Amino acid sequence: MSEDCTNIIDILIETRRLRHMTQAEVASASGLTQSVIARLESKKTIPQLDTLLKVTEALHCKLTVSQNAD
């Protein structure tokens, strides 16, 4: 898994905790199962974009992409 993907997941975990939400609550709000949220947070699989978008919406945050000028 790429470092960027790992960083995104870390931010989602931190955001969930700051909002005092359980994995089950995020699952319910996103229309996903708790096991999907657990797999995402364990970083055992690379998440699909639609999964990330559903989780960010449930957490009331946005997923943005920036380009680095190297």
Residues belonging to the chain: 70
pLDDT digits (tens, 9 = 90+) for 6-50: 999 999 999 999 999 999 999 999 999 999 999 999 998 899 999
Q: Residue 43 in contact with residue 15, Cβ under 8 Å?
A: no
Q: Which residues contact residue 37 at a Cβ distance below 8 angstroms, ignoring those fewer than 6 apart? A: 23, 24, 26, 27, 30, 55
Asked if residue 53 has pLDDT above 80, the reply is yes
- Please tell me whether the overall predicted TM-score, pTM, comes out greater than 0.85 for this model: yes
